Copies of this chain bind each other. A is one copy, B any other.
Amino acid sequence: MAETGARRVRGGGGSARRAERTAVSFETARFIERNIPNFEILNEEALSIIEWNAETVLEEIGVNFVENPTALLRWREAGADVQGERVRIPRGLARALCATAPGSFTQHARNPDRNVEIGGRGLVLAPVYGPPFVRDAEGGRRYATIADFRNFVKLGYMSKWLHHSGGTVCEPTDVPVNKRHLDMLLAHMTLSDKPFMGSVTEPSRAADSVAMAKVLFGDDFVDRNTVMTSLININSPLTFDGIMMGALEVYAQANQAAIVSPFIVGGAMAPVTVAGTLTQVLAECLAGVAYSQLVRKGAPVIMGAFVTSIDMNSGAPTFGTPEAAHITYGAGQLARRLGLPYRSGGAFCGSKLPDAQAAYESANSLNMALLAGVNFMLHACGWLEGGLVSSYEKFVMDADQLGCLHGLAKGVSVDANGQGMDAIREVGPGGHYLGCEHTQANFKSAFWRTDVLDYKPFETWEEEGARDTEALASARVKKMLADYQAPALDEGTREALADFVARRKSEMPDAFL
């Protein structure tokens, strides 16, 4: 089994070549490499204050590593003051430990054309993660199933502006909790050829994820390369629970990437002010990333910041708000000063429907994430209702908007063609440009084009049923799922993956908690 895997598909035997010849390849854009500056909202003074305060938090208050004696041992050996489960980290130690984490790393996909570089000026886009519900225009809101999960993986595979297949695109609630990760990984590995995420809900499931990746890529390849990026949430404020840290340990030891990410509803899990929240975010990330380096020096890790604002009336998290933007911009600056890849942003919204509220909130969030210098954006499409729902329609609506981010990131060309002086000379006062040579030479690539939105004249649009965006998106979802064709995969690998899943399932009784 160790010798099967994606690399073999390209160099492999007759059946692999046949599979490749017959497979339809769906176009996917290369991950974004920004040719525009970042938006720097904090000045040097503000950054210094927040960095000083974060070190004060680590030194004075400390963080808890819960039910994790090994972690306490590691911290003690590294020079921290450990009392009970509280770890106080001397000023400067965490930052020094973070220095061994790479500033950028490659996550490999089984189709090497879809490898992504996470860090630097890059931006990698991945879909929604975690919702227990799904919604579509016809079926309404309902518990997600493994059939939904597979549909979202297919939509992700076919979305040209999406670089990454993600992880828990929805919770397959019809599969036992202790076996879901197997079916989820199998879907990502077989229905898509984009990079994906591993399970984090138990250390043993992280180990299963690594084992399945070895089936897909080969043992040696996984030992030498990063093939998974997984989401390790911090229990804010300042708490690292044993299960999440257990998963982090599995991944770090296997040299697989982790996103170490506070999950904060502002005003509830962090101070109600922006600078206070940034201080806590930085303290938590410093401790978590440092810990990953105590497990394995050089393990790839991403500094994450998932921070929402809050509606102080109801306690509901709120999205696309100015305070969330301030934190996203500020945390990006802090990550860059730490030299770490940065995860934040997403097509966040609180709306229950893929309506105008959803789109305002999502567009606000997507735009700020691009300008904040985010390197890895989870939830880039499909997120609805505060993350409770994966929406079919919103998935394709958001995924279409991700094309705007690609266009924005390109920046402005001022080469001779970009300057267009010949066109201005040719057309002159009172003329028009549609027919001129420069326009003809450039029009195909000059403007971003939507695959969802409607630009037709009113009368045509009305004749065609006066469809709103949800209706247009619903039609696109159906067409994509109808047109879906699986990427080529070596038959031996496919069977080996199925065998692994079947064997692991047979080893455990079903558990639904």
Contact = CB atoms under 8 A, between A and B. Distances in A.
A94 to B, nearest CB: 15
B356 A469 contact: yes
Contacts of A277: 420
A421 B371 contact: no
A235 to B, nearest CB: 7
A453 B351 contact: yes
B427 A237 contact: yes
A11 interface: no
A503 interface: no
B454 A352 contact: yes
A358 to B, nearest CB: 6
Nearest to A309: B447
A433 B321 CA distance: 20
Nearest to A41: B36
A430 to B, nearest CB: 5
Given A352-B461, A356-B358, A412-B46, A276 B447 contact: no
A446 interface: yes
Contact of A469 (B235, B357, B414, B431): B357
B418 A267 contact: no
A291 B37 CA distance: 35
Contacts of A443: 267, 272, 312
Interface in A340-376: 350-364, 367-368, 371
Interface string A144-174: 0000000000000000000000000000000
Q: Which of A238, A267, A318, A357 has the most C-beta atoms of chain B within 10 angstroms of its own C-beta?
A: A357
Contacts of A134: none
Interface stretch (A48-56, A184-192, A214-222): A48-56
One complex includes copies of this chain to the number of 2
A292 interface: no
B430 A323 contact: no
A455 interface: yes
Given A273-B419, A404-B364, A447-B312, A352 B321 contact: no
Nearest to A449: B311
Nearest to A60: B425
A63 B448 CA distance: 31
Nearest to A431: B237
A2 interface: no
Interface residues of A, number: 128
Interface in A266-317: 266-280, 309-316
A429 B371 contact: no
Interface stretch (A70-78, A112-120, A434-442): A434-442
Nearest to A427: B237
Contacts of A141: 458
B469 A413 contact: no
Contacts of A325: 408
B271 A438 contact: yes
27 contacts: A36-B41, A37-B39, A42-B412, A46-B412, A60-B425, A239-B430, A267-B446, A267-B447, A269-B432, A269-B433, A272-B433, A276-B438, A278-B412, A280-B424, A312-B443, A314-B456, A322-B404, A322-B448, A323-B446, A325-B408, A330-B412, A350-B454, A351-B454, A356-B356, A357-B359, A362-B363, A364-B367
Interface of A: 36-37, 39-42, 45-46, 49-50, 53, 56-57, 60-64, 86, 141, 235, 237-239, 266-280, 309-316, 318, 320-323, 325-326, 330, 350-364, 367-368, 371, 385, 388, 394, 397, 401, 404-408, 410-414, 417-421, 423-425, 427-434, 438-439, 442-444, 446-449, 452-458, 461-462, 466, 468-470, 472-473
Given A322-B404, A357-B452, A357-B469, 13 more contacts: A39-B371, A41-B411, A238-B428, A268-B434, A273-B418, A276-B423, A322-B407, A353-B468, A355-B359, A356-B468, A356-B470, A359-B359, A360-B401
